[in-house]
Every structure is written in structure tokens, then in C-alpha cells.
Amino acid sequence: MGGKRLRDRLGPAVPIAPGARVDKFEVFFDLVFVFSFFIITRATAVNITGRNLLHALLVLAVLWWCWVVHSVVATRVRLGLGFVPVLMVVGMAALFCFALALPQAFGDPREGAAGPVVVAISYIVIRAVHFLLFWHVARDSPDERRQLRRFSPEVLFSTLLLVAAAMAPAVIDDPGAATLARDGLWLTLVLLQYTTGILVGTWGWNVTSAEHWTERYDLILIIALGESVISVGVGSNLLGQPPTWSAVAAAVLGIVFTAALWWAHYDMIGPAARIALHAAKDGPRVAMARDAYAYLYLPMIAGIILFALGAEGIVHEIADPLVPMTQPAQGPDVPLLFGGVICYLSANMLFQLRTLHTLSWTRVGAVLVLAVSIPIAAHLPGLAALTLLTAICVGLVTTEVLLFSEARGALYAAIFQERTTHEAHEAAFRARWHDTAPDDPST
């Protein structure tokens, strides 16, 4: 009874309207994801190995699935209104603990299971908050509740796998076998989650506001790009030592190529895909939202984290006064930098193909040039390798601006017309507030 009275005082859950936009609480919630991306990058940057990169990608995949579930809940209810933000703060705290414990998730099993257990418990709380909230808002929709029950095995087995990954390695005597078992459980967890999303299908789901869905994912991609800027800043270390011209140049190049990658998605592809999702209805809309946004944004974000790691390492060497300027970039920095951009652009091409059913030859050419440039850049000084990458990325967006100017103009004209019509309807609706007589009891 006490919980019901508190919920009544706070207000009911408010459904999402067809034209809804992202609210301020959702942006506030995203701050924890900023921290999570930062932790993944920082933990991996300490010691970049093949196994550590695999661990980073596994953690990112599980974290992203939490984001996907979170975005599905946000298609049904306003997260910042009524009693919902109180419940979401619980999930937010759990997500923060999840991020804090991530560096220990794949630690030496002989050192104890404290970190992995915190990861597992935090994950359970996050999934429980999302499940209970969706169950509550879908109480009047038999189809949605039936679909939610079809997802229940994934929630159950995901939590069991993560608990097993936390506890089992500690009881296995052989450290190699313990590590293999833990990695296998994490990999099984990721396969279970993303396979379930395909097998369960789109029946019973609905994306009420295409505007809200696309804006939600566009914002999280910007957050990931912002994390790459942070990595460049960390690598430059300009706060810890007197600035040099080479360090400043490297930092500027890092900003320029990141901005070019932002442009590659948000100038034409992102806005056109938003219109395509608006045009789709019912099952096709849900399928497009799942395939293009929930699934294909993951490799784009993975690519951002990979090239952020490479950029940080290269910029750090450039800023180090003890490293000769003519020395080629060391270790995996160049493959990570160029490979991350290749991953980002390749996923973006698949996103374009899924939403717009087109493929830009400029993107294909840029990916091929990047792949050919890796062995060349590996023998160049760090600043030259970074300059080469920046030239390719800037060349891509410049070429598309010049060659596709007509299509770009038509797209922006359609967007302007859409916005003008939308704002005219809003203005007409709000005009009633001014036309109401002051003594009208309905005011």
C-alpha cells in the first residue's frame, strides 16, 4: 500500500506520443554510458593485446544490449515523468557500479571474484528494472506482455551466464582453463542475447515515435565520438607538460578526422534514415529499428573505440619529447586507428544499405584506400600516419559534398518542409491558449 501511495503521489507512467522527442532525463541517464565507454577504453589502453581487445568488445556488446533494452522501454514510457525516474535512478546506480567493476571483470581468477560478482549483480539489477517497468506499462497490451514473456528466457539465462562467469573461474584450479571457461561464458552470453533479438522477431513490438528512436541512437553515437575526442586529449597530455607544435598538430588532426567521421553519418545518411524509419510502419518499422539501429550501431561504436585507442597511442608518442619525431608509430596503434575507421565506415555502409537500400561508391572506395594504407602508415612517423588518415577522411566527405550536392540539397529541402509543416501545426495548436477568454473556467 505504501508503495502504491508513493507512486500515486509521484504520478503515473506517461506513454510516449507519436511525435515525442528525447527528454532531459534520458540525456542525464546517458552520462553513465559516457562513463562506461570511457572505462572500457581506459581499461583496454593500459595493455593492448588481442585478448584484452576481445574482452573489451565482449563487455561493450553486453553493455550495448542493456542500452537496446533501455531504448525499447523508452519507446513505451517517458523515463523522466511520474514515478518512472525514481525507478530509473536505481538502474542508473546499478549501471554506474557495472561500469566501475568492468576493469576487474576479466581479471586473474586467482585474485578473487569480487569484481566479476559486482558486474553480475549490477547487471541483474539493471535488467530487473527494465523488465519490471516494461511489464508495468504493457499491462493493458496482451500482445506486448506475450512478447515480453517470449523474451523472459533471455533475461533468465543471461543473468545465469553472467553469474557463472563470475563464480566458476574461482573454483577451477587451472588458470588457463578458468580463463577459457570465463571467456566462453561471456561469448555465449553475447550470442544468446543477439540471437534472441532475431529469433523472437518483431511481432508484438511497436516503435511509436520514430523521431524519438532515431534521436536516441544518434545521441549515443555522438557520445561515443565524444569519448574518442577525450582519448585524443588524454594522449596529447598537454596538461602534464609544456605544449609542443607537434602535439598541438596531432590534437588538431584528431579533432578534424573525428569531425569528418561525424559528418559522414550526420550530414546525409542519418537524416535520410530518420525519414525512412518515419515512412515505415508496423512490423517493417520495428525490423528496421532493430537491424539498423539496435544492431548496426554496435559495430560503429566498436569502431570508434578501436580508433580512439589507436589515436591515443599515436598522439601520446607524438607528444612525448623523448620519442624522435621520425620514429614510426609503435605497436598496434596504426592498425587500431585505421582498422577502427574501417569498422565504423563499413558498419555505416550496412546501415545505409538497410535503411535506404543504397550503397555509396565513395564509402567503398574510402574503405579500400584505408585498408591499402595500413602497411604504408605503419612505416611512417606518427604525425604523418595521423595526417594520412585525416586526409582520407576529409577527402571522403569533401568528395561526397561535391558529387552529391543535388541529392543533399533535395534532402535538406524535404527536411525543411517537414519541419515547417510540423511547426505550423504546433503553432496552430498553441494559438488556442491565446484565444481562450480569461474568464473561461477551462483555463
Contacts of 394 (CB under 8 A, 6+ apart): 256, 257, 260
Q: Does 186 share its domain with 307? A: no
Q: Does 189 share its domain with 277? A: no
Q: What confidence score (pLDDT) does residue 362 get?
A: 94
Q: Does 252 share its domain with 140? A: no
Instruction: Report pLDDT digits (tens) over 9-28.
Output: 555 667 777 777 788 888 88
Q: What confidence score (pLDDT) does residue 401 get?
A: 92
Q: What confidence score (pLDDT) does residue 372 get?
A: 96
Q: What confidence score (pLDDT) does residue 434 get?
A: 78
Q: Does 22 share its domain with 159? A: yes
Instruction: From 163, 152, 144, select the one nearest 128 (Cα to Cα).
Output: 152
Regions of the chain with pLDDT less than 70: 1-13, 108-113, 203-204, 233-242, 435-443
Q: Which letter does DSSP use for residue 102 in this model?
A: G
d(CA 420, CA 414): 10
213 occurs within a structural domain: yes
Q: Does 223 share its domain with 371? A: yes
Structural element, H or E, at residue 330: none
Q: Which of 206, 231, 256 is the last residue of a domain?
A: 206
- Give CA angle at 145 (144, 151), nearest 5°: 90
Report pTM.
0.89
102 occurs within a structural domain: yes
Q: What confidence score (pLDDT) does residue 240 get?
A: 60
Range of the domain at 377: 208-423
Q: Does 256 share its domain with 202? A: no
Q: What confidence score (pLDDT) does residue 112 get?
A: 60
**Grid cell of 290 as nine digits:** 532493430
437 occurs within a structural domain: no
Q: Which of 206, 236, 267 is the last residue of a domain?
A: 206
d(CA 365, CA 384): 21
- Domains: count for the chain: 2
Q: What confidence score (pLDDT) does residue 1 get?
A: 46
Q: What confidence score (pLDDT) does residue 242 get?
A: 67
Q: Which of 185, 206, 227 is the last residue of a domain?
A: 206
Q: Does 44 share its domain with 108? A: yes
267 occurs within a structural domain: yes
67 occurs within a structural domain: yes
